């Protein structure tokens, strides 16, 4: 019973996911094909890779909206390194380092200026995005072509399957396991929740708040770099706009998964399920012939409905008291 109460939201998301797949499957039987389901995740699963560390940032009371630009910057950096003749393994390491540095820059600016994380990461979103466009222009990779010419061994990587599962999905599942184990089963993970509940009190209780935040934002940058490399492999070209569509779906997955935008609570498992829920919603709507504009609007409506529903469920007592007081006032 305790586990049922503890994971109630995750179970609700899992049930919604099953209903969603069955519903779209009734309209288009291809949606029930296991291979179609598994390999269609490659179109959106990289969103989940950045949504996982983003969830932890939100739990800590912060926010990062620059990860989409970080993905674009890492993608074009990777392409330029390859173009300059840097061996692929070294180019991957340097790209991951660049993404991590972007995350550390966010953390440093937030901590040492005291400015709201939303404002700081809004600024770095334009900084990283502008830098990506600048590098793209210098490399002559403007437009949709980007930097190509990668070896087949690299471009085929994101399309491989291991044990019947596509490689991007395996990266995601491994990340879910790693983030869940770290956040919910380690002392450092508990520090994330304490920081989000009350950062000042956490500091007074000797919680390493600054170190925790540096780690979380670095993890977001790291995840963005991995997503960039997988995207370059999947599409076969390095472009500065590869992360432009990641912002809203990743935030939606984190909030829909149960992360409190004010900090202090959230769930890695919830974010993982919400990523699949939002991703399959987009895929299912496309398969039944719904235009992209309408599917985006429906995704936004889903977020609003579910967040309002969750808020109502969490504050049932206060709502009941308010209704009683309102009823009593009307009866006077």
CATH at 260: 1.10.3470
pLDDT at 176: 94
Residue 34: Cβ-neighbour burial (10 angstroms; 0-12, 13-18, 19+): exposed
Residue 322 lies in a domain: no
d(CA 35, CA 57): 34
Residue 259 lies in a domain: yes
pLDDT at 227: 93
Residue 225 lies in a domain: yes
- The torsion angle over the Cα atoms of residues 55, 57, 58 and 59, rounded to 10 degrees, is 90
Residue 324 lies in a domain: no
Residue 326 lies in a domain: no
Token pair 């491989």: residue: 160
The pTM for the full model equals: 0.88
Is-contact 111 125, C-beta < 8 A?
Answer: no
pLDDT tens-digit map of 8-20: 778 888 888 888 8
pLDDT at 329: 64
Residue 287: other Cβ atoms inside 10 A: 17
Residue 331 lies in a domain: no
In the chain the first and final C-alpha atoms are separated, in Å, by: 42
Which residues, 6 or more positions from 15, have their beta carbon under 8 angstroms from its beta carbon? none
Q: List, for the chain, all residue ranges whose pLDDT scores fall below the cut of 70.
A: 1-7, 141-145, 292-293, 295, 299, 303, 306-307, 309-323, 326-329, 331-332
pLDDT at 107: 94
Number of domains, the chain? 1
pLDDT at 73: 92
Residue 193 lies in a domain: yes
Residue 330 lies in a domain: no
pLDDT at 188: 87
Is-contact 31 284, C-beta < 8 A?
Answer: yes
pLDDT tens-digit map of 269-281: 999 999 998 888 8
Residues paired with residue 109 on neighbouring β-strands, in sequence order: none
pLDDT at 220: 94
Which domain, by its residues, includes 270? Answer: 9-308
pLDDT at 101: 95
């Amino acid at each position: 019973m305790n586990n049922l109460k503890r994971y109630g939201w995750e179970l609700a998301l899992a049930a919604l996911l099953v209903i969603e797949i069955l519903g779209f499957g009734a309209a288009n039987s291809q949606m029930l094909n296991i291979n179609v389901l598994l390999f269609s995740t490659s179109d959106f699963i990289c969103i989940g890779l950045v949504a996982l560390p983003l969830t932890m940032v939100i739990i800590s009371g912060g926010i990062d909206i620059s990860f989409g630009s970080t993905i674009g910057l890492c993608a074009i950096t990777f392409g330029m390194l390859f173009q300059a003749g840097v061996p692929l393994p070294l180019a991957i390491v340097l790209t991951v380092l660049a993404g991590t540095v972007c995350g550390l820059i966010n953390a440093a600016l937030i901590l040492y200026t005291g400015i709201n994380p939303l404002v700081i990461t809004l600024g770095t979103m334009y900084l990283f995005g502008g830098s990506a466009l600048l590098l793209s222009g210098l490399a002559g990779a403007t437009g949709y072509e980007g930097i190509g010419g990668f070896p087949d061994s690299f471009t085929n990587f994101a399309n491989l399957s291991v044990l019947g599962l596509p490689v991007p999905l395996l990266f995601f599942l491994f990340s879910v396991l790693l983030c869940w184990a770290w956040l919910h089963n380690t002392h450092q993970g508990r520090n994330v929740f304490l920081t989000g509940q009350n950062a000042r009190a956490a500091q007074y209780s000797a919680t390493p708040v600054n170190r925790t935040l540096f780690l979380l934002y670095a993890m977001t940058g790291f995840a963005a770099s991995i997503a960039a490399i997988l995207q370059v492999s999947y599409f076969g070209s390095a472009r500065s706009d590869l992360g432009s569509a990641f912002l809203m779906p990743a935030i939606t997955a984190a909030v829909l998964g149960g992360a409190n935008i004010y900090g202090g609570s959230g769930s890695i498992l919830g974010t993982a399920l919400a990523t699949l829920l939002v991703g399959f919603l987009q895929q299912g709507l496309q398969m039944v012939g719904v235009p992209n504009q309408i599917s985006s609007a429906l995704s936004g409506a889903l977020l609003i409905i579910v967040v309002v529903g969750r808020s109502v469920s969490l504050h049932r007592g206060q709502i009941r008291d308010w209704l009683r007081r309102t009823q009593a006032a009307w009866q006077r």
